[in-house]
């Protein structure tokens, strides 16, 4: 049987199920990735499960999201994460070493392996010929403990690349073209596999750019072959022995097919406030901007910064503009310094920030109120930048640098200069001290976790009741993101290990009164929320499910769910339901009370059932697509209870 790259990776790691699209499969996980915004909870979950040592080939804990130490909270969490990495046998990436995705690519990623990360952009490492997927933190904790990862077998969407990128067009424009065509739901239930002659001209980091924003399409993963370019990249890192070739068989087929002629692309830009709101840069050229921002995991490569440095070299940025340079890794920053590109950027008026996620997640570099911000980041959801009424555009480094010079959105093709084509180095300097290796198991057994006063344990959660009535506290529209459910940013993220405190920010972007209303309702039986399509898109942060659950959320009824958030709801015992007839969404109003009867028996035996609407003398039909394993978790009240029940029963 001829196989594509995705099928080869899945077949090699399949532990249960068959590779039929839509069927649940279990996958062996070789590597995991956690970062500080989600990893603190993962480490607490490992402790709660009684895990002694990671059973993966390599697991790494990165500190990249919240490196600002304005008081004790982040510093304490960093100490806790390092102690947990040492205790459980993980690599530990120090603050300032860089964003998890490019650093993992540089140090640990291996062609042919599976990678599960508690960050939705883990899919970026699919550029290395890996099956790399984002997931909720507790799924990653389970993988660290040696458990399989369960997903529905995705369809494989083959995207053939032909031609070569023109001057002033780069990899960011390739993924923006995919978003222009298919919007933020186009990849749901699919792995996007790129192939064809156009790949030959894309560097490993170019592929990283494209794979990273597969998350914005809603894809399960993005996969590239492992070819001579991946071999070159690994050789530059001193890891050529980790390379192996992985390519699709000559007569491999795909469930879906598409073609992009790279030669026909032009500079593109995503307008506020969705990555799918894409138009040609030329269409909105002339719009004034306050900020131009280069960096993040969506454009983390050496050439992404070097090309910006060459564009502004010997020039000055526009007056009144903030030109923010956000290095993605310490290794890359060192290389840029050595080659003089940082000097070019600083001389032009740029502001240099430390290596980390920073402004991408709203941790600094927030734009001014009512002003436009151009960013090479992956997302522009409302408020994600740290400014509530923000206006963020997503673009390539070429467009960001050109616009920094003019002070307005500028098509870089209009600059009166030759396009600076830059290639990645064939050898780079390594700083081994920034990534600490796991300690030996004998030493680890004698170590204790260091917990500061801002770290609280996960409270116990009750099992799903059989009969309950819950008011709809929120009725929302389409594409509600996890940033809107529970934002990142400098105000919220320091409480990532303190559930009672972080829950106070839940849904504040949607409704300032949600927290107080939910807390009052929690003791009276809980509540429900209703929404439209693609509910929970964006970040993998499980806090967006855990915090509402802490506040009494029992059921979510929507038109459809984003993949990772759906699994997070299941993991924390929240009943995820969709409308059988989507027109019934219009029948429900905020404040309506939903009546659930005999629900434990009903969901076990029926995928479709009725829910009453109190005082309206009518019912709505809902459905679930839960597997038997999902049902066991939901009925237990969440995966932590489920694991405890298994341990107590000796299963």
pLDDT at 48: 81
What is the C-alpha to C-alpha distance for residues 415 and 326, in angstroms, rounded to an integer?
Answer: 24
Q: Name the CATH architecture for the domain at 268-414.
A: 2-Layer Sandwich (3.30)
pLDDT (mean) for 105-131: 97
- Picking from 208, 234, 238, the residue whose alpha carbon sits closest to that of residue 223 is 208
pLDDT (mean) for 10-21: 97
What is the model's pTM? 0.88
pLDDT at 215: 96
pLDDT tens digits along 465-475: 999 999 999 99
pLDDT (mean) for 302-315: 97
What is the C-alpha to C-alpha distance for residues 488 and 565, in angstroms, rounded to an integer?
Answer: 16
DSSP assignment of 397-424, as one string?
A: HHHHHHHHHHTB---GGGSSS-------
pLDDT at 50: 82
Query: Range with the lowest mean pLDDT among 153-162, 450-459, 520-529, 541-550?
Result: 450-459
Examine the pLDDT at 153 and tell me if it is beyond 80: yes
Q: Who wins on pLDDT, 460 or 348?
A: 348
Examine the pLDDT at 70 and tell me if it is beyond 80: no
pLDDT at 182: 98
Asked if residue 372 lies in contact with residue 395, where contact means CB atoms within 8 angstroms, the answer is no
Would the CA dihedral through 532, 533, 536, 539 be positive or negative?
A: negative
pLDDT at 647: 67
Which residues partner with 610 through β-bridges? 621
pLDDT (mean) for 381-404: 93
Examine the pLDDT at 68 and tell me if it is beyond 90: no
pLDDT at 422: 93
What is the C-alpha to C-alpha distance for residues 192 and 392, in angstroms, rounded to an integer?
Answer: 26
pLDDT (mean) for 485-510: 87
Query: Do the bridges between strand 593-596 and strand 608-613 make them parallel or antiparallel, or are there none, so unpaired?
Result: antiparallel
pLDDT tens digits along 204-263: 999 999 999 999 999 999 999 999 999 999 999 999 999 999 999 999 999 999 999 999
Query: Range with the lowest mean pLDDT among 4-18, 420-434, 547-561?
Result: 420-434
pLDDT (mean) for 253-276: 97
pLDDT at 651: 58
Q: Per the CATH hierarchy, to which homologous superfamily does domain 468-649 belong?
A: Aconitase, domain 4 (3.20.19.10)
Q: Output b/e per residue, 474-507; b: 16+ Cβ within 10 A.
A: bbbeebbbbbbbbbbbbebbbbbbbbebbbebbb
Q: What is the mean pLDDT of the chain?
A: 94
Examine the pLDDT at 540 and tell me if it is beyond 90: no
pLDDT at 16: 96
pLDDT (mean) for 564-585: 95
Per-residue pLDDT band at 650 (split at 50, 70, 90): low
Domain extents in the chain: 268-414, 468-649
What is the C-alpha to C-alpha distance for residues 442 and 449, in angstroms, rounded to an integer?
Answer: 16
Most confidently predicted of 380-384, 400-404, 495-499: 400-404
Share of the chain above pLDDT 70, in %: 99
């Amino acid at each position: 049987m001829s196989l594509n790259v995705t099928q080869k990776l899945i077949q090699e790691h399949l532990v249960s199920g068959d590779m039929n699209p839509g069927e649940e499969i279990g996958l062996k996980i070789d590597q995991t990735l956690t970062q500080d915004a989600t990893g603190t909870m993962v480490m607490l979950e490992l402790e709660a499960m009684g895990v002694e040592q990671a059973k993966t080939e390599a697991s790494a804990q990165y500190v990249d999201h919240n490196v600002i130490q304005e008081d004790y909270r982040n510093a304490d969490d960093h100490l806790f994460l390092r102690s947990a990495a040492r205790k459980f046998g993980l690599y530990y990436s120090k603050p300032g070493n860089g964003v998890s995705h490019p650093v993992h690519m540089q140090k640990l990623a291996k062609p042919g392996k599976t990678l599960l990360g508690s960050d939705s952009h883990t899919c970026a490492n699919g550029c290395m010929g890996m099956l790399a997927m984002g997931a909720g933190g507790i799924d990653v904790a389970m993988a660290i403990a040696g458990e399989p990862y369960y997903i529905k077998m995705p369809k494989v969407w083959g995207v053939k690349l032909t031609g070569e990128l023109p001057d002033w067009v780069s990899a960011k424009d390739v993924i923006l073209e995919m978003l222009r065509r298919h919007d933020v739901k186009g990849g749901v239930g699919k792995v996007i596999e790129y192939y064809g002659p156009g790949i030959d001209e894309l560097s490993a980091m170019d592929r990283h750019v494209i794979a990273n924003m597969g998350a914005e399409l809603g894809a399960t993963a993005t996969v590239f072959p492992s070819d001579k370019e991946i071999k070159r990249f690994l050789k530059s890192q001193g890891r050529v022995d980790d390379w192996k070739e992985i390519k699709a068989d000559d007569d491999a087929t795909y469930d879906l097919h598409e073609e992009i002629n790279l030669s026909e692309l032009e500079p593109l830009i995503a307008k506020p406030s969705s990555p799918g709101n894409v138009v040609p840069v030329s269409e909105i050229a002339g719009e004034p901007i306050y900020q131009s921002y280069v960096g993040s995991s969506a454009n983390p490569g050496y050439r992404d910064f070097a090309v910006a440095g060459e564009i502004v070299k010997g020039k000055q940025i526009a007056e009144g503009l903030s030109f923010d340079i956000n290095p993605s890794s310490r290794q890359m920053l060192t290389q840029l310094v050595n080659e003089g590109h940082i000097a070019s950027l600083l001389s032009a008026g740029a502001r240099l920030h430390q290596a980390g996620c920073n402004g991408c997640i709203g941790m600094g570099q927030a734009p001014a109120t009512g002003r436009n911000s151009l960013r090479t980041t992956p997302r522009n959801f409302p408020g994600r930048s740290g400014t509530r009424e923000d206006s963020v555009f997503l673009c390539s480094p070429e467009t960001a640098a050109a616009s920094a010079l003019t002070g307005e959105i500028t098509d870089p093709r209009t600059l009166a200069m030759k396009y600076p084509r830059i290639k990645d180095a064939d050898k780079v300097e390594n700083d081994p001290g920034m990534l600490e290796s796991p300690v030996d198991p004998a030493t680890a057994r004698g170590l204790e976790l260091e917990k500061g006063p801002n770290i609280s344990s996960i409270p116990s959660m009750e099992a799903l009741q059989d009969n309950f009535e819950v008011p709809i506290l929120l009725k929302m529209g389409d594409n509600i993101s996890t940033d809107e459910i529970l934002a990142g940013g400098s105000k919220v993220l320091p409480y990532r290990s303190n559930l009672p405190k972080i829950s106070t920010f839940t849904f504040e972007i949607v409704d300032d009164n949600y927290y107080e209303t939910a807390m009052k309702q929690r003791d009276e039986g809980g509540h429900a929320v209703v929404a439209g399509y693609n509910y929970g898109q964006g970040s993998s942060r499980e806090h967006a499910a855990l915090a509402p659950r802490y506040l009494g959320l029992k059921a979510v009824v929507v038109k459809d769910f984003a993949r990772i958030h759906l699994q997070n709801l299941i993991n924390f015992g929240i009943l995820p339901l969709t409308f059988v007839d989507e027109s019934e969404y219009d029948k429900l109003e905020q404040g309506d009370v939903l009546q659930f009867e005999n629900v434990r028996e009903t969901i076990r035996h029926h995928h479709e059932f009725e829910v009453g609407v109190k005082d309206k003398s009518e019912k709505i039909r809902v459905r679930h697509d839960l597997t038997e394993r999902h049902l066991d978790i939901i009925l237990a009240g969440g995966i932590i209870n489920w694991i405890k029940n298994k341990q107590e029963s000796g299963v």
